[in-house]
Amino acid sequence: IAELAGLKYSENLQGKDISRTLDDPEYKVRDTVFSVSLGGSAFLLRTEKWAYLQYDEDAGSGMELFDMERDPHQFTNLAYNVSYATIVMEFREALKRKLKTVRTNDLDIDYNKK
């Protein structure tokens, strides 16, 4: 909205300029969707092809990986199948990066510091 209104905004704001979608509804704003549960211990990264869920930051309570093209109803968890180990590792690393990013909030407060 700030972009459409021609307003200045902080580069620290979490969000994306979606104004291009008004002219091009097929335009993809992002390639991955991120979600976290209300309690903050379950995380989701979703692409067109994959849905990756991780329970706890260290995955101590489990992981799930679903091929959304072949298994859109998420019946078969591939996370522990060795054939998908590389994909799981890529998602685990992507989640670490995403969590680091979102913990630096719009006020430029870094919650990654201990």
Place of tokens 């260290």: 58
- What is the mean predicted confidence (pLDDT) over 26-46? 87
Query: Is the pLDDT score of 51 beyond 80?
Result: yes
Written out in words, the top-level CATH class of the domain with range 31-102 is alpha beta
CA–CA separation, 108 vs 62, rounded Å? 32
**What local confidence, expressed as pLDDT, does residue 42 receive?**
95
Q: Is pLDDT larger for residue 11 or for residue 61? A: 61
Backbone angles phi, psi at 44, to 5 degrees: -130, 135
Residue 53, pLDDT score: 98
Q: Cβ distance 12 to 106 under 8 Å?
A: yes
21: three-class secondary structure by DSSP: helix
Mean pLDDT, range 12-17, rounded to an integer: 70
Q: What is the mean pLDDT of residues 70-77?
A: 98
The residues, any chain, with a CB within 8 Å of residue 17's CB and separated by 6 or more, are 3, 29
